[in-house]
Amino acid sequence: MKKPIEFRIEKKIDGSLARVGKICTPHGIIETPAFITVGTRAAVRGLTVEMLHDTGVETIIANTYHLYMQPGDLKVRAMGGIHKIMNWSGPIMTDSGGFQVFSLGAGYGTNVSKILKSAPMVPLIKERDEEEIKPKLVEIDYDGAAFKSPTDGSIHYITPERSIEMQHNIGADIIFAFDECTSPIESRTYQSEALDRTHRWAERSLEYHRQKREQNGDSPASKQALFGIVQGGRYEDLRKESAKTIGEMDFDGYGIGGSFDKEDLHTAVRWVNEILPENKPRHLLGIGEPEDLFLGVENGCDTFDCVAPTRLGRHGTVYTREGKIHIGNVLYGEDLRPLDSGCQCYACKNYTRAYIGHLYKSREMLGPMLCSIHNLYFIVNLVKDMRKALLADTFQKFKSDFLAKYKN
């Protein structure tokens, strides 16, 4: 049977896991490394398709859980599939809902991020206390996870089979196995249990997808690639075990998910990518700060997605070559420069910091839109520049020059 996607490696970098490639999908080519923008509910918040094209972004990742809740995966199918409804002719991915096992479960109501910053001991205890009094919205068991809707309290049970079925209905080019993203503050014992669960669920996701593909050669499923997700949290042995287990399953590509230590995200990624099959694409889920993208690329990841550019933009934080700034700060009140000097994005070519800061503070929706456009342009093109640098054998210099300025 014809593979739904094809991954071609154009260049491997000696002495590193980095590579340059192309993922050919039914809706076009993803030149890797690439940054993929998040469009959770089949929309990139605040931006039209035309604006997205202007930022240079080529691929969007939407979310199965959220589209199931609203408007419903069957409705997406009835309306003609995700590409049609959102007027996006390029490649689309869907996340399986595995992240919501964390964000609406252990992470709900806490300020625990999947990225654990240093010195966690005191907050760690605190969060555990808070967790006791927070209502739980997710119950995990052997077969799947029961989600309680924060909106109306209804219960929705999602199994690996259900997740894949919904992703078939939604119709993205690349779909993900249903996994459990764990909180970074869970014990090793728990991480290990959760990992076993994720591995079982991966197998079930793969099996269900395979059956559907074979049942009907013309079904949408036959045009969809399925990626398995490596977990294992912050533990070397679990990460390696997961990479081996998932890597041996016949997925079309792999996602690297779960929680990380900010300090050694790159180490965790390397553990995994040294083991995963080289000839399949690897997507680093939910990672997208500039420093992290460099580390991901040089440690063998091909694609990335992250809410940071759009969320930060909406919240008034803007990427510049000299680091992030908050556009609402008084400091920029009379600053007539663009958000980032030399940037060729729509916001920078047409508007000043002072004006965009005014829009943001006045709650004009154009403010967050312009900041989102800029941030997306910034990150998408940063990764494109990494690709160029890899091809030109100047990656290390590009990285050190960029980071020297970016981190002041």
Partner RNA sequence: GCGCCGAUCGUAUAGUGGCAAUUACACGACGCUGUAAACGUCGCGGCCUUUGGCCUCCGGGGGUUCGAGUCCCUCUCGGCGCA
Which residues of the chain form contacts with RNA (CB under 7 A)? 38, 40, 44-46, 61, 63, 65-66, 95-96, 98-100, 102-104, 107-111, 113-115, 117, 150, 176, 179, 181, 229, 231, 255, 257-258, 262, 285-289, 292, 305-308, 310-312, 314-317, 326, 328-331, 333, 361, 363, 365, 368
Q: How far is the CB of 77 from RNA (least distance, A)?
A: 20
* 265, 256 Cβ separation under 8 angstroms: no
Q: How far is the CB of 101 from RNA (least distance, A)?
A: 8
Q: How far is the CB of 18 from RNA (least distance, A)?
A: 18
When the beta carbons of 112 and 343 are compared against RNA, the nearer one is: 112
When the beta carbons of 331 and 391 are compared against RNA, the nearer one is: 331
When the beta carbons of 41 and 240 are compared against RNA, the nearer one is: 41
When the beta carbons of 129 and 218 are compared against RNA, the nearer one is: 129
Q: Is position 196 annotated as part of the catalytic site?
A: no
Q: Is position 95 annotated as part of the catalytic site?
A: yes
Tell me the three-class secondary structure of the chain, residue by residue.
Answer: CCCCCEEEEEEECCCCCCEEEEEEECCEEEEECEEEEECCCCCCCCCCHHHHHHHCCCCEEEEHHHHHHCCCHHHHHHCCCHHHHHCCCCCEEEECCHHHHHHHHHCCCCCCCCEECCCCHHHHHHHHHHHHHCCCCEEECCCCEEEECCCCCCEEEECHHHHHHHHHHHCCCEEECCCCCCCCCCCHHHHHHHHHHHHHHHHHHHHHHHHHHHHCCCCHHHHCEEEEEECCCCCHHHHHHHHHHHHHCCCCEEEECCCEECCCHHHHHHHHHCCCCCCCCEEECCCCCHHHHHHHHHCCCCEEEECHHHHHHHCCEEEECCEEEECCCHHHCCCCCCCCCCCCCHHHHHCCHHHHHHHHHCCCCHHHHHHHHHHHHHHHHHHHHHHHHHHCCCHHHHHHHHHHHHCC
Q: How far is the CB of 40 from RNA (least distance, A)?
A: 4
When the beta carbons of 361 and 388 are compared against RNA, the nearer one is: 361
* 138, 183 Cβ separation under 8 angstroms: no
Choice among 252, 292, 305, 340 that is catalytic: 305
When the beta carbons of 59 and 103 are compared against RNA, the nearer one is: 103
Q: How far is the CB of 313 from RNA (least distance, A)?
A: 8
Q: How far is the CB of 335 from RNA (least distance, A)?
A: 12
When the beta carbons of 275 and 308 are compared against RNA, the nearer one is: 308
Sign of CA dihedral 69, 142, 274, 173: negative
Q: How far is the CB of 229 from RNA (least distance, A)?
A: 5
Choice among 73, 95, 292, 340 that is catalytic: 95
Active site (catalytic) residues: 95, 305
